[in-house]
Structure 1
């Protein structure tokens, strides 16, 4: 009969395997439009994916990790063996998808596997949580597709020059980025804070002219947005083509950072109860552990998936890529705030499809309907199959190992 320490060790190994797989699979998609637009090489993109996604995992991964670990089943606490069954099932299915060049949605797979293992433990279904998460998932393609299409129409149109449209759009991203919650920025109430919140609080303490917290947040956020607008405008005035490529890479890295925050919880979430009870370690250590796995996966396995998303789903130029990044960033940050697990493959592909439709005839081959159709089927099967396989795997392991 295996010891509790041995089962925890197996759970940790499967979590690292899952983080590695996520780093290779889900965090690759955000950099793909930049590679497809020839603003970045595939290998350099893979290198940056590992570093930036790992940083995002540590800085923003806590809320989704908490949902996966505690919010999907009721009346039970996930055991190390159940965590191992969940992660092994999900990582194996995603790896199979990787080997055939089809990005499998990690959120669908891990969520399904977590529910399957939870039910095998005797837990109940958190129906209210599922309804909220499923509603968010179903809204993603429509919201993102429309936003990306509209932005691409504006960027590809001739009603306003690039030196006006692009800086305004990127300034909006800067405003939002100043307000994202980061684990390393504390607040007076002990919660996660934002750059805008921290700076406004510090300035309010030194010079009371900022007044109320809400007003201070707006002032600092606008200052960040104006600084981003000025830098972006300066880059475009110097050289439009080179400037657009630099802006594209910068946006890609912002989205990769966000993807790390949304995806690490898929690898670390099942271990939340293990770290808090069995090991007595804080959540930051768990996120750092997952971030390390994402770093390795991004460096070792992501080039193939980067190529698949960049070349096979849509042929994007720099402006369409910018139009794809902005909705992806906004939707993913919303998911982090709500604590909803999401598939970043789905997020990026929805944006890529939306922006790729602009200026494309039905016969131009801009969007691969066959490839997209196969991907949608894989999304559904991964969630249902993940639940069934994880349920069965847990029961088999419990019977063989004599542990629960």
Structure 2
């Protein structure tokens, strides 16, 4: 029998992602309308306060708080499907409890692990020392927020999947170039962050592929699936729970000046609890379906844990888009000595804005998107979620802002390539498809690469231009 080229599974998964993106654009419209209203409010605020002669600091502070709040809501609403979809799709958790879990995990990530990315955006991209004494530094960050928010609103309206992280980096660079000159921007840092945007989806894909290969070989395709599931799944979930709990405990220990030994103890206890809880769940499933237990049901504990880890990682990474610029805007409260220092209160505020977006708009998004990328097979969805969480959390720990959605799509490619590679190694025959259908499937893959690449390529220069324009208008309107 003739054989067609591989990647059937990848084509199917990417088709689901494409449908999810279209649905997500429709579901995001309430947030989009809120963004348009926010931009109109900011414009009116500038006109009224400029004509009234109000102090520039009041205008900058009010504008910054309005735009940052909307960005937080947009972030929380737009990315909730990536975090929650796998568990809801597999029936592991209900929608409302899942939204609450994502919101709480995101706030915890923002407060405990969000300082690195926030600090990078507040202090790492611009040399604000020469303008620390006046109101120009806050004006720069307000302009950056306006530029990023304008592009996100416009891009969402035309259906282009853009990243808040990419947008805020471009906005800061453009606004800084106008206010401080080209030399005031750390272009080397901007280039490093841009390189990370390319590397992280590839890394996520590699991790997701490795996870899928291990899951299929050890559990899904085992001759004794029941025995393999009872042996490997509790160990896998226990290890995940232990490592994550130890990481969180280390963050808490660092804040309290404690050593690593208590964190290790917490990790061991959490790992043991995860192991025992998962083992009981697997045993219940095996008692109901002893011959061929469903992987979807067996993976429920792992999917719930992935919700927590990915929600935490999302909060840790994306809160910087709000807290970084906002910390500079609020510097008038702390004085120049505190310029760009990100306090726990600012992180908590950013996390609260993200959580608010998750709770207010999350149910609509998850329902309309149909679980987003999580319409994938439960095993593949779990691998994508875990790989995304590990990659985003690692980037956040290094203070590097990345796109959660782009990293997740990299994971989709990884599991698709890994599955097709395993199928080819087993020399599994597949029926030939018509040439037109084969070309269509190839175009599906190319379209996703082109769309994501285009979004990445245009976001930085466009938001830099918008940030520069906004900065020029702010400086012209209020002076400084």
Partner residue of 2:464 out of 374, 387, 396: 387
Residue aligning to 1:141: 201
CA contact (8 A) 2:152 2:164 kept: yes
Residue aligning to 1:286: 346
Residue aligning to 2:77: 24
Report the Cα offset of residue 48 of structure 1.
Answer: 3.8
Find the aligned partners of 1:162 and 1:366 in 2 and give their Cα distance. 35
Find the aligned partners of 2:242 and 2:192 in 1 and give their Cα distance. 27
Report the Cα offset of residue 70 of structure 1.
Answer: 0.6
Residue aligning to 2:9: none
Q: Does 1:249 align with 2:316?
A: no
Deviations 1:170-194 (A, max 9, x none): 233224313325697244xxx4679
Deviations 1:298-317 (A, max 9, x none): 12334465467766657412
Q: Does 1:199 align with 2:262?
A: yes
CA contact (8 A) 2:117 2:400 kept: yes
Residue aligning to 1:166: 233
Report the Cα offset of residue 54 of structure 1.
Answer: 2.4
Find the aligned partners of 2:373 and 2:80 in 1 and give their Cα distance. 16
Report the Cα offset of residue 264 of structure 1.
Answer: 0.7
Residue aligning to 1:2: 54
Deviations 1:355-397 (A, max 9, x none): 2445468969799533453233122212221111111111022
Find the aligned partners of 1:41 and 1:222 in 2 and give their Cα distance. 28
Residue aligning to 2:278: 232
Deviations 1:316-371 (A, max 9, x none): 12111221122222212211221111111122222233224454689697995334
Report the Cα offset of residue 5 of structure 1.
Answer: 2.1
Find the aligned partners of 1:358 and 1:367 in 2 and give their Cα distance. 20
Report the Cα offset of residue 57 of structure 1.
Answer: 1.6
Q: Does 1:398 align with 2:472?
A: no
Residue aligning to 2:450: 373
Find the aligned partners of 1:41 and 1:151 in 2 and give their Cα distance. 26
Residue aligning to 1:210: none
Q: Does 1:120 align with 2:178?
A: yes
Report the Cα offset of residue 110 of structure 1.
Answer: 0.8
Aligned alpha-carbon RMSD (Å) = 3.3
Report the Cα offset of residue 111 of structure 1.
Answer: 0.7
Distance change >3 Å, CA 61–CA 302, structure 1 → 2 = same
SS of structure 1 residue aligned to 2:275? helix
Find the aligned partners of 1:389 and 1:197 in 2 and give their Cα distance. 45
Residue aligning to 1:301: 361
Q: Does 1:85 align with 2:140?
A: no
Unaligned runs of at least 5 residues, structure 2: 1-52, 287-293, 421-429, 431-436
Find the aligned partners of 1:193 and 1:249 in 2 and give their Cα distance. 31
SS of structure 1 residue aligned to 2:180? coil
Find the aligned partners of 2:97 and 2:417 in 1 and give their Cα distance. 28
SS of structure 1 residue aligned to 2:299? helix
TM-score between the two structures when normalised by the length of structure 2: 0.70
Partner residue of 2:247 out of 168, 173, 180: 180
For 1:27-42, what aligned pairs fall within 5 Å after superposition?
Answer: 27-40=80-93
> Which protein is richer in helix relative to its size?
2
- The range that moved more, 177-186 or 112-121, is 177-186
Unaligned runs of at least 5 residues, structure 1: 201-216
Q: Does 1:106 align with 2:159?
A: no
Q: Does 1:55 align with 2:122?
A: no
Report the Cα offset of residue 101 of structure 1.
Answer: 5.5
- The range that moved more, 261-270 or 56-65, is 56-65
CA contact (8 A) 1:64 1:340 kept: yes
Residue aligning to 1:12: 65
Distance change >3 Å, CA 265–CA 393, structure 1 → 2 = same
Q: How many pairs does the alignment contain?
A: 382
Find the aligned partners of 2:442 and 2:97 in 1 and give their Cα distance. 25
Residue aligning to 2:33: none
For 1:359-370, what aligned pairs fall within 5 Å after superposition?
Answer: 359=419, 368-369=444-445, 370=447
